Structure 1
Amino acid sequence: MHYSQLLQFALNKPKTIYAIVITMVLISLAMIPQLTIDTDPENMLSSQNSERVFHNNIKKTFNMPDMIVVGIVSENSIYQPKTLAILQQLSDKILQIEGVITQDLLSLSVVDNITQEKNGGIRFEYLMQRAPKDLAGSEKIAEAVKRLPLLANTLVSGDDKAAAIYVPITAKDLSYSIAEQIREINQTFTHHDLTFHITGLPIAEDQFGYEMFVQMGIAAPLAGLAIFVLLWYFFRNFPLIIAPMAVAMATVIIIMGALIGLGFTVHIMTSMIAIFLMPIAVVDSVHILSEFSDRYKEGDDTKQVIKKVMSHLFTPMLFTSITSAVGFYSLLLTPIPPVKIFGAFIGTGILLAFLLTVIYLPVYLSRLSPKSLANLQLAVAKMEEKGRLSNSLLWLGNLATKKAKAIIFSFIVIFIFSLVGINKIIINDNPVNWFKADHEIRIADKVLNEHFAGTYDAWLVFSQPQKDVQQAELTFMQLIADANQQGIDLSTIQEHLAQWKSSTDKGIFSQELLIKLDDLAFSVAMEHQAAIDKLYQFADQQFAQQKLYIQPEMLNWLADLQTALNNTALVGKTNGLSDIVRTVNRELHSGNALDFVIPKTSNGVAQTLLQYQSSHRPNDLWHFVSQDYQQSLIWLQMTSGDNQHTTAVVEWVNQYVQQNPAPIDVEMNWAGKSYLNIVWQDAMVNGMLNSLLSSFVIVFLMMALLFRSIKYGVLAMLPLTLTISLIYGLIGWLGKAYDMPIAVLSALTLGLSIDFAIHFLQRVRELEKQTNSLTKALLLMFEEPSRAISRNAIVIAIGFTPLLLSPLMPYITVGFFLASIMIVSALVTLLLLPALLSLFSKDQTTNNQA
């Protein structure tokens, strides 16, 4: 069906159109209560992403839950009876909160002190089972903490002025509710010298989700109000401006309803859909209202005027909508799931807004009363007679045509300036920095990281190479096959192997296998004894060899790596298996620093580990080594969660390991939230670049097709190119980190900046045909057409300004840069395009020759 037929149908069946729109809105509204929030940056990666899979496997293998960090900071030493009593009371109350993993909570009141027994041996006792009554008791605790490397500068700061409680939680999405309960507990303590802080990536992410939900309910209505007020200022007619607002509201409700109804969670990206679509959805309406108000005269047939307006505007509006949608659909090329969803629904929302605009708006205008139309004409005529906007645009048009060479030269200089700035862009992000500097999360992060080794963590994991393990397993299976050929009954071994195959976290060579082989040796015939002995010896040898992390040379190498890391400015502290082994070994011997070493034999190491497992927290051992001793984890504490910082740590470790290889071949991998952040950031940057380049090519081809001219296709792309270059150049020059919101702006810039160029060039060509003069056409462009473009830029820019009031930095960033993008792209369109056209127009050449 041709659009003119569709328009005629809509004008003849207004109630049908209204009924369809209202039904879609009501169905979508019914979906809204099913909304679920997701702010976990881990979901920026696909569930099949190898780094994400490894991270989650490591969490399971080493039992490393997500943790909230609770800090108590004192003006004096933390080792005061009253302060330690508060710390113990707080710990006890936190242990009662549902969702806290009690056995893994870290606090002075629940960890062990490791000392020598008077008659020899080693003693494990609670460091602070009860808070001390006097200063002498407090000082004993201080001395003990300083002797225990796993506690020093982790549970108590190096300056003794802060203590920390690490609160492990069963699920990340409980972070906010648990933190709120802890805040309520903190308010019950009235010690004036103490301040309480809560931080950590899980709480930062979950609290962001809560505040993001609040912002969704505030920013979108504020944007709608700002647009409504602005439209009233432009058209001074309430009945008229209800139409574009209805289109915008319907678009937002239908798209958000579809998003939720299809089962998608609302992520930090998709939370911005409403605020993005609200101003974008009124763009076409402003063009229609501007031209309608310019064309309509009292007594005219409203429907005929609408048809003329739509015949002029339908094609450019269609192409601007398609190109804007393409800009967002290009995000489907990124490897980031939430960004894909965001791009798909914004792109669809733009097309829906276009469809509603070209069907619903004409129907609405055709049913306005003659009085409303007369008021519209009067208001617009008064505003445009000698209005500031009209005068400014006439001055701008005169400048663009008279100073064409100077303007073009200026834009060339700006473009070069922008390219230099782009090369200065720094890629960086940190979920804690999603809050303003005065937010309690940011304050807590700053204070606690000034005192402690760091509240950010990364996990460095060493494993036996899989190729070695697989080769040993193949050899063993071949020995099993040989024994089977000899007719030996290996049913008990086969059952064990079947169980092993169903288990993904255990090696084939284990104590259980050795016991079964030993039992089998007593039951087989004498002629088969040699074959079973061969199986046993091979399994025993592999079992011993694969227990890498009871080998002294490996533990010494890990200890050296930790020492080297601790001596850098990159890491506040490292915690690992070597700390446990050396601490226990010291207390098993002299108790002096001289014996704070790794034992010389595997049996010596095994003895220290066996002793440690008699402590009150034996399972703490498995945070640093797997139960088959084939993997070991080093916990890095860092004072910064910035991607750049974590990347620097990774590069330093890579270089160290290359220069100081392990004594036994091992595989090294990274896990932890801080590391995952750099993984998805890298994927996002590369994905955004690919999507931008591909959509840029597609949009150029569409422009050439629309104008049926390569020259005009290139002209249409120039404002877009300069706007993207200038915005990102300024980001580089200003030192603003390239983070997730900034990355997404590339698609927004491409999708929205092209709008103005399309309308400008389309109208110039129409006016040139009417006047047979490009010079006259350019003069006419700076009347109604340029006013429509300017209004659109102002409406969209103002529509995003409510985001500047948000307490969340991603919203502020998006609001500021989108408003800037709209103003810049409109100015570039209204200055550069007329300058280029006037410089190369035949009219100009003829005038110069005359």
Structure 2
Amino acid sequence: MNYTKILNFALNQPKVIYSFVLLLTLASLVMMPNLTIDTDPENMLSSDNAARLFHNQTKQDFNMHDMIVVGAISKKSIFTPDNLAALKTLSDQITNIDGVISKDVLSLSEVDNITQEVSGGIRFEYLMKQAPQTQAASSALQLAIKRLPMLDNTLVSGDGKAIAIYVPLTKKELSYTVAELIRSYTNELTIDLDFHITGLPIAEDQFGYEMFVQMGVAAPLAGLAIFILLWYFFRNFALILAPMIVAMATVIIIMGTLIGMGFTVHIMSSMIAIFLMPIAVVDSVHILSEFAEKYKPGANAKEVVKKVMKHLYTPMLFTSITSAVGFYSLLLTPIPPVKIFGAFIGSGILLAFILTVVFLPVYLSRLSDKNLNKLQLAIARMEQKGRLSSSLEKIGVFASTKTKFILIAAIAIFALSALGVSKIVINDNPINWFKADHEIRVADKALNAHFAGTYDIWLVFKETDNSHISATKEFLINFQGLKSKGLEAKALETYLASKENQEQLFSQELLILLDDLTFSADPSFEQELAELYKLAETSHNQNKLFIQPDMLNWLAQLQLAINNTDFVGKTNGLVDIVKTVNRELHSGEAKDFSIPTSPEGVAQTLLQYQSSHRPDDLWHFVSKDYQQSLLWLQMTSGDNQHTTKVVNWVKNYIDEHPAPVALDIDWAGKSYLNIVWQDAMVNGMLSSLMSSFVIVFLIMVVLFRSFKYGILAMLPLTFTITMIYGLIGWVGKAYDMPIAVLSALTLGLSIDFAIHFLQRARELEKETGSLKTALTAMFQEPSRAISRNAIVIAVGFTPLLLSPLVPYITVGFFLASIMALSALVTLVLLPSLMMTLSGEKLEAN
């Protein structure tokens, strides 16, 4: 069925069309209550991504949690009885919050002091079980913390003016709720301290809350802005109601479908409504403009609509397809939320096209003569006296007569923009999604100025030495030999059968089974069982890599080297526990702040530590089989550039200073995941841009049936993309997620103006027999329609500039700029190129 038949059916069955649109909209609206917000950057990676899997495995292996950081800052020393009493109260309140893992809360009142017993041995006692009553006791507490490397500059700032509480959560989705509750507690404290809350989980969760609010504000504001603008253009409420219905129906249907299909609303998909609102009215503006020009009082509105649609259907179809292709290209990225965004925006554009070419003609054909006459008068008045008309005529003369100047200037600007593109820096940080004066940003700046850093990444070590393979093989051969001699060992056979992973063969359980077997077996096997036990014991001890002194000394050197860099505040790891306990087991002086010289000595320090009030803290830094270890790096910035420097520096150091044994070394933590998905995004966006660029070019060649015009159609968007990204490079704006997505938006939207311009110019050239005459006519109604479209889309995005969230502001500013620039390039560069290629000249008036 071709479009003419569809149009005739629609015009003859208006109630069917109205009912269908209404029912589809209502069905989609019903889905809205199922909305689920998701702002977790971890979901920027697919569920089977290797880095994401390792991150989550690390959290499980070392019992690590997402944490928010609560900081209290004093203008002078924070170590006063009143301040410490207030912080003790706050800590107690925090540990009782649902969703907080109380046993892992890090605060002065929850951690241990490690000291020597007067009679010898080591003593673990709560650092601040009760708040000090005197200034002397408060100062003594400050000195005690200086002796504990795990706490110094982590819980207490180096200048003694700030104290932090680290709050681990059962689920990161609770961050905003927990933070709000903590804020209510701090507001009740009558103490002269500045309280701040920061950390990536709270930044992400609070962004989700504010994003939800923004969704409810920006889209209606965009609709209002477009409505006012359409009123200014057409001065007819009944008329402009049609494109508003198309836009609202498109947004509701697409968002309802997204939610109904079970997709969460991520930072990307939260912008679908604000994107579709202005884009959905683009075709309507073309139709209204041409309909207003062609309709004369007394004419048959239905017949005028048919003529208008016959003329505009093909260019609107191709502009919709090319715009959709630009967004569908995002499906080539490896980032799920970006794929969803691209898929639903692309589908929304096609839906808006269908609604426009079916619903709008029906609506126009049924308008009263009174409304149609008012429309015609409004358009005539605007075109005769408006500044837009006179400005476009001047642009047309300039573009057609100053061709050499325009082309030379365009080449120079393009070269300058290309240089700017080379200066682009890839960087992102969820904290920077908020404005500089937002409480999250203020807290981030304040706490990172005092502490070693509220951002963290985890460096995980695991032995890659395969020496266990030969030991396992020897053990199994010897055991089979004993069985062949008649040894009965059912329990041991069951144990061996349960060990699919031979790396886990040698364990304390195996030693116990062998020891029991020695007593129960025939005495003739005693010597051979003793040798088998010795082999298992030796292999078991060797498997405990991270109690070996040479391994721990290497880790200590690595920590020292990292701590001496400028981009890591401090490191925390197993070495700090071992050194601290070893010091107190001996003299209590700095000379014994070292790694014991034997594995047994290391094991003794760890055994002692497990008698503390927080024995499980050990397992944050070493696995229970001592075959893996985690190093916690604290940083004062979560920028991707910062994290990448750390990762690269550590790699270079380890390459130059290899570990005593071969190690598998990998990274985890939120800051690290950010650089992983950023790299994936950049490469994915580049691939999607290149592929969609080729597809759009081929579509242009098919549309115009001309290779030359296909190239001409691509020039404005090529110029616009290069110029926008060149500007980004020159002004130093970081290439982040919103900026990356703009490439697809630019490609999808910038081509629209070129299609309409070239299609209409070719038609006019055929009618008049002269390109010069055709271009003169182009800067009448056609250029006004293009300009109105650019203005409508640009204004539609301007409400985003009022957002408190930086990604929305970025998108709003750059998309408005893209629309203005691409329309200007189309109206100036294309006529100049066409005149140059044709050889005709247009005289200036």
> TM-score when scaled to structure 2?
0.98
Residue 489 of structure 1: how far off its partner (Å): 4.2
- Cross-structure match for 2:646: 649
Aligned to 2:403: 404
Identity fraction in percent:
69
Query: Residues 825 and 485 of structure 1: is their aligned pair in 2 closer, same or farther, counting only changes over 3 Å?
Result: farther
Give the match for residue 82 of structure 1: 82
CA distance in 1, matches of 2:362, 2:468: 73
Q: CA–CA distance in 2 between the matches of 1:707 and 1:151?
A: 70
Partner of 2:363: 364
Tell me the equivalent position of 1:575. Answer: 572
- For 1:689, the equivalent position in structure 2 comes to 686
Question: What residue number does 1:241 align with?
Answer: 240
CA distance in 2, matches of 1:161, 1:154: 13
Contact 2:465 2:662 in 1 (8 A): no
Mapped partners of 2:480, 2:400: distance in 1? 89
Please tell me whether the aligned partners of residues 324 and 755 of structure 1 are also in contact (alpha carbons under 8 angstroms). yes
| 1:132 is the counterpart of 2:132 | yes
Tell me what 2:65 maps to.
Answer: 65
Partner of 1:783: 780
How far off is 1:362 after superposition? 0.3
Q: Using the alignment, how far apart are the partners of 1:826 and 1:535 within structure 2?
A: 82
Query: Residue 265 of structure 1 aligns with which residue?
Result: 264
Q: Hey, what does 1:152 align to over in structure 2?
A: 152
Q: What corresponds to 2:350 in structure 1? A: 351
1:666 partnered with 2:663: yes
User: In the TM superposition, what are the counterparts of 1:439-450 in structure 2 within 5 Å?
Assistant: 439-450=438-449
Q: Which runs of 5+ in 1 are unaligned?
A: none
Superposition pairs of residues 691-706 of structure 1, within 5 angstroms: 691-706=688-703
Residue 677 of structure 1 corresponds to which residue in structure 2?
A: 674
Q: In the alignment, which residue of structure 1 is the partner of 2:421?
A: 422
AA at the equivalent of 2:408: F
Asked if the contact 1:507/1:628 (under 8 Å) is kept, the reply is no
1:552–1:285 CA distance, 2 compared to 1 (3 A)? same
1:508-657 equivalences under 5 Å are 508-525=505-522, 532-533=529-530, 535-657=532-654
User: What pairs with 1:218-229 in structure 2 (closer than 5 Å)?
Assistant: 218-229=217-228
Contact 2:401–2:841, Cα closer than 8 Å, also in 1:
no
Q: 1:805 aligns with which of 802, 805, 816?
A: 802
| Cα distance, 1:465 vs structure 2 | 1.2
Q: How far apart, CA to CA, are the structure 2 residues paired with 1:702 and 1:494?
A: 69
Which one-letter code corresponds to 1:320 in the other structure?
Answer: T
SS of 1:462's equivalent in the other structure is strand
The corresponding residue for 2:463 is 464
Aligned counterpart, 1:832: 829
Deviation for aligned residue 1:528: 5.3
**In 2, Cα distance between the equivalents of 1:106 and 1:153?**
13
Secondary structure, in 3 states, of the residue corresponding to 1:633?
strand
1:122 aligns with 2:119: no
* Displacement of 1:386: 2.3
What amino acid does structure 2 have at the position aligned with 1:104? D
Distance in 2, matches of 1:538 and 1:284, equals: 80
Question: Is residue 2:371 matched to residue 1:392?
Answer: no
Question: How far has the Cα of 1:403 moved from its partner?
Answer: 0.2
| C-alpha deviation, 1:493, in angstroms | 2.7
In 2, the alpha carbon distance for the partners of 1:479 and 1:7 equals: 86
Relative distance call for 1:135 and 1:432 in structure 2 (3 A) is same
Structure 1 residue 584: Cα displacement: 0.4
1:843 alignment partner, SS class = coil
Q: 1:473 to 1:712 in 2, by over 3 A?
A: farther
- Aligned equivalents of 1:110 and 1:621: distance in 2? 15
Cα distance in structure 2, aligned partners of 1:529 and 1:711: 92
What is the CA-CA distance between 1:470 and the residue it aligns to?
Answer: 5.8
**Counterpart Cα distance in 1 of 2:291 and 2:483:** 90
Indicate if the aligned counterparts of 1:113 and 1:126 stay in contact, CA closer than 8 A.
yes
Distance 2:649 2:299 in 1: 76
Distance 1:257 1:471 in 2: 60
- Measure the CA separation in 2 of the matches of 1:422 and 1:485: 74
What one-letter code is carried by the residue in structure 1 that aligns with 2:812?
Answer: G
Aligned to 1:336: 335
Query: What's the CA shift for 1:483?
Result: 5.5
Shift in Å, 1:531: 5.9
Inter-CA distance 480–276: structure 2 relative to 1 (3 Å threshold): farther
- 1:770 paired with 2:767, answer yes
Q: Tell me the matched-pair count.
A: 844
Looking at structure 2, the residues matched to 63 and 398 of structure 1 have their Cα atoms a distance apart, in angstroms, of 71
Task: Provide the residue aligned with 1:297 in structure 2.
Answer: 296
Q: Among 805, 809, 823, which residue is 2:820 paired with?
A: 823
Matched, 1:721 2:723: no
Tell me how far apart the structure 1 counterparts of residues 639 and 157 of structure 2 sit (CA, whole Å). Answer: 22
Q: Does 1:746 align with 2:748?
A: no
Tell me the amino acid that sits aligned with residue 636 of structure 1: L
Change (3 A) 1:498 1:794: farther
Please give the secondary structure, in 1, of the residue aligned with 2:197.
Answer: strand
Alpha-carbon offset, residue 510 of structure 1: 1.3
CA offset at residue 480 of structure 1? Answer: 5.5
Query: Matched residues in 1 for 2:254 and 2:475: separation?
Result: 59
Output the CA distance in 1 between the equivalents of 2:525 and 2:419. Answer: 78
Distance 1:543 1:3, change over 3 A: same
Helix, strand or coil at the partner of 1:63: coil
Give the residue type in structure 1 aligned to 2:77: S
- Residues 835, 841 of structure 2: 8 Å contact kept: yes
Deviates more, 1:830-839 or 1:524-533: 524-533
The Cα of 1:516 is off from its aligned counterpart by 1.4
Q: CA deviation at 1:619?
A: 0.5
Displacement of 1:533 in angstroms is 4.5
State the shift of 1:530 in Å. Answer: 6.1
Structure 1 CA distance for aligned equivalents of residues 25 and 535 of structure 2? 71
Distance 1:404 1:184 in 2: 66
Structure 1 residue aligned with 2:112: 112
TM-score (norm 1): 0.97
Q: 1:545 to 1:330 in 2, by over 3 A?
A: same
Task: Give distance in 1, aligned partners of 2:812 and 2:478.
Answer: 68
- CA-CA distance at 1:665 after TM superposition: 1.4
Task: Please give the secondary structure, in 2, of the residue aligned with 1:115.
Answer: strand
Inter-CA distance 324–485: structure 2 relative to 1 (3 Å threshold): farther
CA 1:514–1:191: 2 relative to 1, 3 Å: same
* 1:157-188 superposed Cα distances (whole Å, 9 cap, x missing partner): 00000000000000000000000000000100
1:523 is displaced (CA, Å) by: 3.1
Deviation at 1:529, TM superposition (A): 5.2
Q: How far off its partner does 1:509 sit?
A: 2.0
> What residue is the counterpart of 2:25 in the other structure?
25
Distance in 1 of aligned mates of 2:604 and 2:227: 75
2:199 maps to 200
Report 1:276-287 matches (<5 A).
276-287=275-286
Shift of 1:496: 2.6
- Give 1:8's aligned residue: 8
Q: The residue matched to 2:665 in structure 1 has which SS?
A: strand
Secondary structure in 2 matching 1:187: helix
1:665 maps to a residue whose letter is A
1:9-28 Cα offsets, whole Å, 9 max, x none, are 00000000011111110110
Q: Is the 8 Å Cα contact of residues 70 and 166 (structure 1) preserved in structure 2?
A: yes
AA paired with 1:290?
Answer: S
What is the aligned partner in structure 1 of residue 495 from structure 2? 496
Q: Which amino acid aligns with 1:250?
A: A
**Aligned residue number for residue 97 of structure 1:** 97
Query: Could you report, residue by residue, the CA deviation over 1:351-382 in whole angstroms, capped at 9, with x for unpaired residues?
Result: 00000000000000011000000000000100
Among 730, 733, 736, the alignment partner of 2:733 is 736
Rounded Cα–Cα distance in structure 2 between residues aligned with 1:355 and 1:468: 67
Cα distance in 2 for residues equivalent to 1:791 and 1:606: 76
State the one-letter code of the partner of 1:427.
I
